Structures are given as structure tokens and as C-alpha cells.
């Protein structure tokens, strides 16, 4: 049975996994070393974001150990379901990371609601629909969030289905069209012997069904909703790299905010100062390039 990935693909994936560990350590160190203005901001960073990232990087390791990219044969149910549980945890924490980043920004920049009171939690987030909070970001960061629009939709879709509709799962195996008729014939036979209580024959027929399939490292949620399937080895790494990127962008945004002089006048002056600082930084980068 041929492996889904080529030998070159496997090497690339394992290298990318090692790189994800490096990124995690770098981001964790930045978050720990930061001087926070609020206890809540630090809590969301250290007890929230770092803890979630640590769970996620360990989830990647677990999946790669139990269902390695070079695997060819159909995994047994324990390994497949175990990996599924871990991936579901990964997706939940991925969505939570985005919320934690948004709350770090809120507390570290003292964001308030439209009426000046404490910001309603329904207004806090980085994905689509959080227009009020996005107004507090620099133009550069708003542009960055726009480039990640499709990824935000992907995270929301997988998390919402997991929490409210059909949970993510790893396909037990897939069938070719040529073997589909035989598979369904065995399914009917298994159903009939099951009604008669012949469970030994039932198990034998189910084993024959499984032998017709091939393993593919795919996960999805609902077939009736025509949800997209993804290759989970690649998707886990891509999601981790993207949340690392987003977190570093937030830290840059906070550094830019911290450079703004404290003024007592209206928010207009603050926004102008921020734009000016951003323009200087962009100009400096262009010259450096």
C-alpha cells in the first residue's frame, strides 16, 4: 500500500514540525519577557495564550507520533480516535488563541466600549465581524487581518462545527469507485447477520470491508454540508505557523502603541501620532531593503 506522502514530503513535514517548536519557544519567551501594563493582560498572555500554544504544539507531536506522515496501512480505531481527540483539542485552542490575543490588546491598550464603559465581550475578537475593535488598530495591522480573512473563516467554520454541529473526525479509510459495490454488498451481509445475532460473522465481514479501503490522512466534519476535507498533517502546522504570525503582529502593534505619547486630548491626535509612527517605520523598512 503506497504512502500518501512522498519521501520528500515527509522530510518537509518533519522539518516544518521542528520549525514550529522553534517558533513556539521564541514567541513564548517574548510573551514572558514583556512588561505588561495590566494584570489581566499578563494573565491572558501567560495563563491563556502560552498555555494554549503549549497544548497545540504537544498535540502536533502526538498526532505525528501516533499517525506519522509515512504511515501506509489503515490505522486501528484506538489510534485514529486518539488522534481525532487531540486534533479537536487543537482546533478549540486555536480559536481560543485568537480570543486571547484580542483580550491582550484590549487590556494592554485600555480599550473601552462605544459609551466609554467596559468593552462588551461580544465586541472582542480578531476575525470577521469585530469592526469596533478593529478601529483601534493601525492601518497596517488592519490590512494584515484582511489578508488572513479566508484563514479566519476556516478557523471559525471548523471550531463552530466542532462545538455546535458535527465534530471533526479522521476518515477511517477511503474507497475507490471500483471497490464501492463490493463494500456495499458486504455492508448488507453484515447487517443481515447482525440481525441474527451472529456477531462473529459480523466482525469478519466488517474486516473484509476495511481491507477494501486505503488510508488517507484526511479530516473533515459534515459530508452533507459538503465541508472541505483537509490533510491534517499539513493543516496543523499551517494553523500553528499562522497563529504564531498573528501573535507576533499583535506584539508589534503593542510596541507601536507604547511609543505614543500620553496626551489628554481627543483620540484624533492619538490616531494621527500612530499613523505617523507607522509611516516612519514603513519608510525605514523600505530603505533597509
Helix (H, G, I), strand (E, B) or coil at 218: strand
Identify the pLDDT of residue 69: 94
pLDDT at 36: 94
| Strand, helix or coil for residue 206 | helix
* Confidence at residue 265, expressed as pLDDT on a 0 to 100 scale: 42
3-state per-residue secondary structure call for 39-76:
HHHHHHHHHHHHHHHHHHHHHHHHHHHHCCCCCCCCCC
Q: What b-and-e string marks burial along 103-130, b requiring 16 or more CB atoms within 10 Å of the CB?
A: bbbbbbbebeeeeeeebeeebbbbbeeb
Q: What is the pLDDT of residue 213?
A: 75
**C-beta atoms surrounding 206 within 10 Å:** 14
Cell of 43: 494573565
pLDDT the model gives residue 267: 56
Cβ atoms < 10 Å from Cβ of 31: 20
User: Residue 99's pLDDT is what?
Assistant: 94
* Pair 217, 195: CB distance under 8 Å: no
User: What is the reported pLDDT for 223?
Assistant: 66
- Cβ neighbour number for residue 75 with a 10 Å cutoff: 18
User: For 222, which DSSP code?
Assistant: -
CA 289 to chain centre: 32
CB contact at 8 A, 140 and 278: yes
**Cell numbers representing residue 168 in the block:** 471533526
Apex CA 31: angle with CA 26 and CA 34, to 5°?
120
pLDDT of residue 87: 93
Query: Within 10 A of 251 (CB to CB), how many other CB atoms are there?
Result: 17
Q: At what angle do helices 77-108 and 51-66 cross, to 10 degrees?
A: 160
The pLDDT tens digits for 113-137 are 888 888 888 988 888 888 888 889 9
| CB neighbourhood size of 199 (10 A) | 10
Which residues of the chain carry a pLDDT beneath 70?
Answer: 1, 223, 225-226, 261-281, 283-289
* Cβ count near 131 (within 10 Å): 8
CB 46 within 8 A of CB 103: no
Average pLDDT of the residues of the chain: 86
Given a contact cutoff of 8 angstroms between Cβ atoms, the answer to whether 127 and 152 are in contact is: yes
Amino acid at each position: 500500500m503506497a504512502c500518501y506522502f512522498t519521501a520528500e514530503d515527509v522530510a518537509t513535514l518533519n522539518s516544518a514540525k521542528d520549525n514550529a517548536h522553534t517558533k513556539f519557544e521564541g514567541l513564548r519567551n517574548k510573551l514572558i519577557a514583556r512588561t505588561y501594563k495590566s494584570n489581566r493582560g499578563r494573565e491572558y498572555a501567560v495563563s491563556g495564550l502560552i498555555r494554549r500554544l503549549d497544548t497545540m504544539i504537544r498535540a502536533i507531536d502526538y498526532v505525528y507520533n501516533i499517525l506519522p506522515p509515512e504511515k501506509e496501512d489503515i490505522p486501528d480505531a484506538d489510534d485514529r480516535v486518539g488522534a481525532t481527540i487531540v486534533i479537536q483539542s487543537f482546533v478549540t485552542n486555536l480559536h481560543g488563541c485568537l480570543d486571547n490575543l484580542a483580550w491582550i490588546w484590549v487590556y494592554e491598550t485600555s480599550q473601552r466600549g462605544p459609551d466609554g464603559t467596559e468593552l462588551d465581550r461580544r465586541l472582542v475578537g480578531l476575525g470577521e465581524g469585530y469592526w469596533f475593535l478593529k478601529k483601534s488598530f493601525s492601518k497596517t495591522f488592519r490590512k494584515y487581518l484582511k489578508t488572513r480573512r479566508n484563514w479566519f473563516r476556516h478557523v471559525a467554520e471548523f471550531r463552530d462545527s466542532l462545538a455546535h454541529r458535527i465534530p471533526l473526525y479522521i476518515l477511517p479509510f477511503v474507497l475507490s469507485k471500483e471497490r464501492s459495490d463490493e463494500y456495499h454488498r458486504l455492508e448488507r451481509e453484515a447487517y443481515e447477520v447482525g440481525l441474527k445475532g451472529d456477531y462473529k460473522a459480523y466482525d469478519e465481514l466488517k474486516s473484509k470491508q476495511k481491507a477494501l479501503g486505503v488510508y488517507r490522512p484526511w479530516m473533515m466534519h459534515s459530508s452533507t454540508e459538503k465541508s472541505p476535507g483537509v490533510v491534517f498533517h499539513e493543516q496543523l502546522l499551517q494553523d500553528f505557523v499562522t497563529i504564531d504570525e498573528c501573535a507576533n503582529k499583535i506584539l508589534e502593534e503593542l510596541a507601536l502603541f507604547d511609543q505614543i505619547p500620553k496626551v489628554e486630548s481627543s483620540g484624533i491626535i492619538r490616531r494621527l501620532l500612530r499613523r505617523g509612527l507607522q509611516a516612519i517605520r514603513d519608510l525605514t523598512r523600505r530603505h533597509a531593503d
